[in-house]
Structure 1
Amino acid sequence: MADFEVLAGIHQGLFLVLLIVMLLPTIMANQLVFRPTKRAFISSARITLCFLWSALFVFGGHLVMTWVLFESFGWLYIKDKLLGFLPFIFVPLLCCLLSTFPRLWELAGKGSKDSRQSQVDTEYTRILLQEKNVRPAKANSPDRDDALDAEWRGDASCPELLVPLQASVLGCLIALFLQVFFPAVTLEPSILFLAWGVLLAGVSLLWIRQSWKHQYHSTAENWVKPRRLLRFIRFAAFLLMTAFIATIWGNQAMIASRLPDQPPLEGQNQDDHALPDFAFPVKASAHSMPSTGKLRSVDAPTELKQGNPDRTFSLNAQKTTIHQASGKTVEAWTLNGQYPGPELRIKQGELVEITLLNKDISEGIDIHWHGMQTPASYNRLAKGEKSVYRFRAEQTGTYWYHSHQQIPEQVVNGLFGALVIEPAEATTTGAAIRDIAMIHHKDEKAGATLNGSHTRKIETIAPGTTVRLRFINAENAPVTYLLQGTPFQVVAIDGTEVNEPNLIANQALQPGAGGRYDIQFTMPNRPVLFAPAANQQDKGLLLSPDGSEDAVPFLDAEVSVFDPARYGSPIALPFDLSSHFDREYQLLIDGQYGFYDGQFKRLSTVNGDLLPETPLMIEEGDLIKLTFVNRSFQNQSMYLHGHHMLILSRDGKKVTGSPWWTDTLQVAPGETYEVAFRANNPGASMEGNLPKGETAFGIAIPLVYEE
C-alpha cells in the first residue's frame, strides 16, 4: 500500500502551493492597469496568462493526488477534501476559465494589428525626423500613441477579469484554513455554510469595489497613477485590520477553550484510557446518536462489600527520592517507596481488597485497574486520606494500575505498577516456569526505563526453563522492543490468550499506549536479550544461563513488526463482519490546530470533536460495531472504555489468525479498523467528570449506557 503520510502530506501541501501560484496571476492582473505602455501591458498580460495556466496545472495535480488517495485508501480519506475543501477552489477557478481566461487571452493579443501598424508609422516618423535633423524622443519616454488610454485601462480593470482571480485566492485561503482547523468539516455543516457565506460575501464586496475602480479607470479624464506610498498604506491598513479581527477571534476562542476546575470523580466509569501524545476524546457520529437517554451509574455489588477478602494489599503513595543503579537521582512519586509500585499478583476468582493511602501528594490521587472490567468506584484522595477498593478478579491475564488523577504527570512520576491475575488452576506441564512482569516507562529525567531501571538488568535462568515475560507499555505512545537470542511465542494480548500461537523470531513487538504482550519461550543455553529497538543493548533485560554478560545478542533494527491479525489459529467467534449489529459508529481521527484549555496546540480529534463533547451512547446488551479511520499523521492508541473489543478487519482485510481481543488498539496513519464489542459493562458517563490532565492527554472512548 502507498505511504499515507507521503500522499496526504503532498495533498495538504498543494493547498499552500496553489494559494501561492494563484497569488501571482492575481497580483499581475491587478497591476495591468498601471502599465506605462501598451507594449508593457501586452507583455504583462501574456505573463499573467502563463501564471494562470500554471495555477490550473497545479489544481489538476491536486485532483490527481485526490484520486490516488481514493484508490489507495478509500472514500473516507478524501470525503472532506472532495466535498469540503476543493469546491472552494474549483468554483472560482471555473469562473476564471469562463470569464477571466478569454478576456486575458484577448488582452494578450489586444492591438496586435494596430501595434504592427504603429511600429511602421513610428519607423517612418523616425526616418523623417532624421532627414530634418530633429532629435527623436528619449527611449524611456513613451510614445503618446503607445500610452494606455481609458479604453485599455477599462478593459484591464473590469470585474469580469479580476474578481474571479481574487475569488480564487480567497477560496484557496478558506480551503487551507478549513484543512488546518476543521479537517472533518463535512460533519460540521454550520462551519461549512459559514465558510461559503464568507466566500460569497467576499466575492460580492470584491465585485462592488472592482466595479467602482473600473468606472474610475475607464472614465477619468485626468487619470493619475496612485502613488506607491498610498497603495502601501492601503495594503498595510488591510493587513492590520485582518490581524485585529484574527486577534479578537483567537482571544475569544482561547477563553472559550478553558476547562473548568477539576470536579470530584465520584460515579465515574472505572475503566480509563491509555496515555497518548495529544488530546483525543471520542464522539459518536451524529446520524447514529439516540435522541434521548438517561445516564445511570453502577454501584458495587453487595457481595463485594461484605465477606473476608482472599487477598489484601496496602499501597501508600508518597514523594520519594530514588537512587538509580547508575548513580542518577530521581524525584519520584512512589507506592510503598517503590518505583514503579509493587507488583500485585492474584488468582482468578479471588476477592481482593486494596487500601490506598495518600501520605503527602497534595495534588490528590486515586487508582485505576487498567484493562479490567471492574465496577465504578472513584474517589479522589486528598493528602492524608485513604480509601478501600474491593473487587473480584473475574478475568485472567496481564494488566496494570495507575493513578487516575492528572494522569500524564502522576504516571510519569511513578504512580503505577503491574497487576497480574493468574488462572485459578495453574497448568501443570512438569517443566519449571519463570514468570516475569516487565513495565516499560519513560521518565522525564532518566528516559526510557524497564521496571524502573534505565540500565540493563540481568537475571539468571537455567536452560530448559519455560519463561513468560509479561510486557506492559506504560508510556503515552507505542514502543518497540526486540527479543533476540531465541524463538518465542506471543501467548496473550491485553490479557487474552492467543489460540495456538506460532513460534516466531526476529520480529519486533510494538504495543500501543497502555498495551500488553505476553511472550513465552524455552530458555536456551545462551543469553537472551529483551530490550528497546534501535540497538539499545545497554538497556532492557538480559537473561543469562550462568549470570554472565558474555555473548550478548545483537539487536537487529531491520526486522518486521509482529502482526496480531495474521498470528495464531482461528476458532469460532461470537460475532463477525456478517453479524447483525445493533449500532454502528464511524470514528474519523484527524489532526488539527486549535485552542485547548487556553493554549494553542495541535490536537487529535474524532469526528471533529474534543472532550468533553457528546460521548458514545449505547444500551446494555447491544452488539456495537466501530470503524476507526486514522487520517492523522501519527499513531493513535485507541482504548475502549471498560470493554474488550474483537478486531474484525484491517484496511478491508479480514483478520485471519487467532481471535484478536484487545482493549488497546494502535491505529497507524492511513489504517482503517473494524472492531466490535458487546455492551456488557454499564457505568457512569465520563462527560463533565474528566479531570483536566486526563482531558488534555486522554485517548479514551467514553461509553455511556442509556437507562
Structure 2
Amino acid sequence: MRIGWKLKCTIIIGALSVILAGCTGSTVEMDHSKMNMGGINESSKTTNAQTEKTAVLTGKEFNLVATQSNQEIAPGKTLPVWTFNNSVPGPQIRVKQGDRIKINLKNELPEPVTIHWHGVPVPNNMDGIPGVTQNAVQPGQTYTYEFIADVPGTYWYHSHQDSVNQLDRGLYGSFIVLGTNEEKADRDYTLMLDEWISSGMGMSDMNMSGMDHSGMNMNDGSSSNMNDEMSSMSMGDDMSMYDLFSINGKSGSLVDQLPVKRGEKVRLRLINAGYLSHQIHLHGHEFKVIATDGQPINNPGILKDNLVSIAPGERYDIEFVANNPGQWLIEDHSDNQAALGMRAIIAYEGISAEFDKSNATENLPAVDLAMYGQAGKNTFALDQKYTLEYTMNLNTEMKNGNMVYTINNKTFPDTDALTVKKGDTVKVRLANNSKTEDHPMHLHGHFFQILSKNGEPLQGSPVFKDTLNVRPGEEYVVAFEANNPGNWMFHCHDLHHASAGMVTELKYTDYKTDFVADPNARNRPE
C-alpha cells in the first residue's frame, strides 16, 4: 500500500530532519474576481512566482511545467511542494466550449508525471493514465495533450502517475469550460480544497501496519525505495495526520478574501483536491447548488444554512446574490481544529465590519441531491432494459497482514473489468460495505446518472456526475451509455484506497489501442 506524500514527508522530517533540496520559493494565492474573458488570447501566459495571485490562463494553447518548489501554506508553515508552474494549485485553465485546446507538459521533476483531466470526457489517448493510455512523461521530457473542450463545467487536472503521492504533493489545478450560452456571474471564484501535514512526527505516533513507502530519497525529492522496515506500515483509515486544511493552497489568514458588491450575482466553484470530505457552509446568504461535477441541476431550490458535503474528486458550483452587506464566512463546518484554516471571508467592498462568528458544532442539514431541484427529463430509468448490469461491492479487508480496499473481494490489477461495446447501456450498483470509510468512486471518460439511493428513486433533478461518494452502508444505482471508446479507470478517489486496491477498469471490447507500454517508463497508474 502506498500512502500520500504529505504523510511520508512527515515521517521522514520527523525521523531524519531533512527536507527536499533544490526548491524555490512560492507564496502564490488565487483570485478570479471580475475576470474579463473577452478578447483575451494568451498562450501560456503566467504570473511570476513571486506575485500575489495565481495565473488564470485563457486561450487555446498552454504550457504547464511540473517542478519542485516551497510554498507557505499557513502563516509560518512553509512546505516542500510539487507544482505546475511553480504554485499550488497550478494555474487555472479557462477555455470556451467547442475550442480545440493544446496543453504542453514539461517535466522538470525527478520523477515521471502525467496529467489527467478529471471529469472532462476527453478521447481515451488524452486521459493521462500511465501504462493504460500513455507512458509517464520522464524527467526532462515533454508531452502534448490535445482535445476539444465540448462539455461546459467545472473540472480539474492532476497527475495520475503514482497519484496518491504526486497529487498529495500539490500537482493539481482547476480547469473551467465556459458554456457558449452560459449566464455569467458578476463574480466567479474557484475554491480548491486540500489537506496537509503541518509538522513532523515520529513513526511511533501513528497507528499503521503494512504501509508501502515506495520511496523517498529526500535529498532529491525522488521516489526511490526506502528500507524494508518502513514497508510494513499502513495508515488504515486514520487520517488525523492531515492537520492543516487549505483553500487554494493557503490556510487561515493567508486565504484570500472574496470581494463582492451589493446586488452582484456570485458563483463559487468548489473543488475537492484532497482525501477528506468537507462540509461547506456559506454564512449569511441564501444560495443555490447550480451544478455538480460540472453538470447542471434542473431548477435548483433556494437553500440557507445547509451544508454542501463535498467528497474527494467532487465539484459543486453554488450561486448566491450578495444582498447582506458585511463580512461573511464560507468555511468547512467541523469541530476539527484543522477546519479553522479552511475558511474564506466574503467581504463587501466599502463595508467595514468583522466577519460573523462561526458555530462549527451547530447541527445543520446537508443538501441531499436525491431530493434537490425539480424533476425533469431523465436519460435513464430504473426499470428500463439495459445491455449490461454490474454490481461493485466496495469493502475494507485484511489480506496478508495488510489493509486493502476491494471491489468484489479483489484488488487491482486482479479486479474484474466492466466490459462493454460502444452504444451499450450500462447499469451499475455501487454498495459500500466498509464500516467506517467513504468511497468516492470516479469513472473516467463518462458521466453517469444517479437513479436511486438506498433503494429509493431520486425525487429531484436528474443528477449526472463522474464522481459519487458512497458512504458506509449506502447503495446507489447509476447508469451510463458507453459512448466514449477506450480503456478507462473506475476507482475510489480517496487515493489511499485506490493505491491499496480499489481500482477497476471499463474496457471497450470493440476498441483497439495503438498504445504500447514502455517497461522502463516506471508507469504507476493508480
Q: 2:150 aligns with which of 385, 394, 400?
A: 394
**Quick check: 1:644–1:662 contact (8 Å CA) kept in 2?**
yes
Question: 2:420 matched to which residue of 1?
Answer: 618
Q: Confirm whether residue 528 of structure 1 aligns to residue 328 of structure 2.
A: yes
Q: Confirm whether residue 539 of structure 1 aligns to residue 287 of structure 2.
A: no
Q: 2:87 aligns with which of 338, 341, 366?
A: 338
Q: Deviation of residue 459 (structure 1)?
A: 2.3
Report the secondary structure of 1:561's partner residue: coil
375-384 or 542-551, which deviates more: 542-551
Label 1:463 to 1:310 Cα distance change in 2 as closer, same or farther (>3 A): closer
**Quick check: 1:638–1:701 contact (8 Å CA) kept in 2?**
no
Question: 2:14 matched to which residue of 1?
Answer: none
Q: 2:317 aligns with which of 499, 512, 518?
A: 518
Let me know the Cα RMSD of the aligned residues: 2.5
Q: Hey, what's the Cα distance between the residues in 2 that align with 1:548 and 1:607?
A: 57
Q: 2:464 aligns with which of 655, 661, 665?
A: 661
Which amino acid in structure 2 is aligned with residue 527 of structure 1? Answer: Q
Equivalent residue runs for 1:346-425 within 5 Å: 346-359=95-108, 361-375=109-123, 376-377=125-126, 378-425=134-181
Q: Hey, what's the Cα distance between the residues in 2 that align with 1:685 and 1:347?
A: 25
Question: 1:453 matched to which residue of 2?
Answer: 250
Q: Which runs of 5+ in 2 are unaligned?
A: 8-57, 127-133, 199-242, 511-526
Report the secondary structure of 1:399's partner residue: strand
Q: Deviation of residue 694 (structure 1)?
A: 8.9
Equivalent residue runs for 1:159-198 within 5 Å: none
Which amino acid in structure 2 is aligned with residue 492 of structure 1? Answer: A
Q: Hey, what's the Cα distance between the residues in 2 that align with 1:695 and 1:541?
A: 31
Q: Deviation of residue 697 (structure 1)?
A: 4.8
Q: Hey, what's the Cα distance between the residues in 1 that align with 2:173 and 2:387?
A: 37
Q: Deviation of residue 648 (structure 1)?
A: 0.6
Equivalent residue runs for 1:38-117 within 5 Å: none
**Quick check: 2:59–2:95 contact (8 Å CA) kept in 1?**
no
Q: Hey, what's the Cα distance between the residues in 1 that align with 2:100 and 2:488?
A: 26
Report the secondary structure of 2:252's partner residue: coil
After TM superposition, what 4+ stretches of structure 1 lie above 6 angstroms from structure 2? none
Report the secondary structure of 1:638's partner residue: strand
Q: Deviation of residue 527 (structure 1)?
A: 2.2
Which amino acid in structure 2 is aligned with residue 436 of structure 1? Answer: Y
Question: 1:443 matched to which residue of 2?
Answer: 196
Label 1:447 to 1:552 Cα distance change in 2 as closer, same or farther (>3 A): same
Larger radius of gyration: 1
**Quick check: 1:354–1:389 contact (8 Å CA) kept in 2?**
yes
Which amino acid in structure 2 is aligned with residue 521 of structure 1? Answer: F
**Quick check: 1:612–1:695 contact (8 Å CA) kept in 2?**
no
Which amino acid in structure 1 is aligned with residue 403 of structure 2? Answer: R
Q: Deviation of residue 356 (structure 1)?
A: 0.6
Q: Confirm whether residue 311 of structure 1 aligns to residue 60 of structure 2.
A: yes
Of Structure 1 and Structure 2, the greater strand share is in 2
Deviations 1:72-115 (A, max 9, x none): xxxxxxxxxxxxxxxxxxxxxxxxxxxxxxxxxxxxxxxxxxxx
Q: Deviation of residue 325 (structure 1)?
A: 5.6
Question: 2:409 matched to which residue of 1?
Answer: 608
Task: Calculate the TM-score normalised by the size of structure 2.
Answer: 0.70
Question: 1:550 matched to which residue of 2?
Answer: 354
Which amino acid in structure 2 is aligned with residue 670 of structure 1? Answer: G
Report the secondary structure of 1:702's partner residue: strand
**Quick check: 2:193–2:272 contact (8 Å CA) kept in 1?**
yes
Label 1:418 to 1:500 Cα distance change in 2 as closer, same or farther (>3 A): same
Q: Confirm whether residue 627 of structure 1 aligns to residue 394 of structure 2.
A: no
Label 1:311 to 1:574 Cα distance change in 2 as closer, same or farther (>3 A): same
Q: Hey, what's the Cα distance between the residues in 2 that align with 1:578 and 1:324?
A: 50
Q: Deviation of residue 451 (structure 1)?
A: 0.2
Q: Deviation of residue 538 (structure 1)?
A: 5.0
Question: 1:131 matched to which residue of 2?
Answer: none
Equivalent residue runs for 1:628-707 within 5 Å: 628-633=430-435, 634-684=437-487, 696-697=499-500, 699-707=502-510
Report the secondary structure of 1:408's partner residue: helix
Q: Hey, what's the Cα distance between the residues in 2 that align with 1:701 and 1:419?
A: 25
**Quick check: 2:406–2:502 contact (8 Å CA) kept in 1?**
no
Q: 1:509 aligns with which of 287, 305, 308?
A: 308
Q: Confirm whether residue 434 of structure 1 aligns to residue 187 of structure 2.
A: yes
Q: Hey, what's the Cα distance between the residues in 2 that align with 1:698 and 1:643?
A: 22
Q: Deviation of residue 481 (structure 1)?
A: 1.6
Q: Confirm whether residue 579 of structure 1 aligns to residue 384 of structure 2.
A: yes
Percent identical: 32
Q: Hey, what's the Cα distance between the residues in 2 that align with 1:491 and 1:411?
A: 27
Q: Hey, what's the Cα distance between the residues in 1 that align with 2:316 and 2:403?
A: 30
Aligned residue pairs total 392
Q: Hey, what's the Cα distance between the residues in 2 that align with 1:328 and 1:602?
A: 32
**Quick check: 1:473–1:514 contact (8 Å CA) kept in 2?**
yes
Question: 1:190 matched to which residue of 2?
Answer: none
Q: Which runs of 5+ in 1 are unaligned?
A: 1-257, 260-273, 278-308
Q: Hey, what's the Cα distance between the residues in 2 that align with 1:693 and 1:374?
A: 25
Equivalent residue runs for 1:99-178 within 5 Å: none
Q: Hey, what's the Cα distance between the residues in 1 that align with 2:146 and 2:456?
A: 42
Which amino acid in structure 2 is aligned with residue 493 of structure 1? Answer: T
**Quick check: 2:413–2:504 contact (8 Å CA) kept in 1?**
no
**Quick check: 1:582–1:623 contact (8 Å CA) kept in 2?**
yes
Question: 2:43 matched to which residue of 1?
Answer: none
**Quick check: 1:317–1:356 contact (8 Å CA) kept in 2?**
yes
Report the secondary structure of 2:329's partner residue: strand
Q: 2:290 aligns with which of 491, 516, 539?
A: 491
Deviations 1:265-295 (A, max 9, x none): xxxxxxxxx99x9xxxxxxxxxxxxxxxxxx
Q: Hey, what's the Cα distance between the residues in 1 that align with 2:170 and 2:488?
A: 28
Q: Deviation of residue 503 (structure 1)?
A: 0.5
Report the secondary structure of 2:103's partner residue: strand
Task: Calculate the TM-score normalised by the size of structure 1.
Answer: 0.53
Of Structure 1 and Structure 2, the greater helix share is in 1
Label 1:511 to 1:499 Cα distance change in 2 as closer, same or farther (>3 A): same
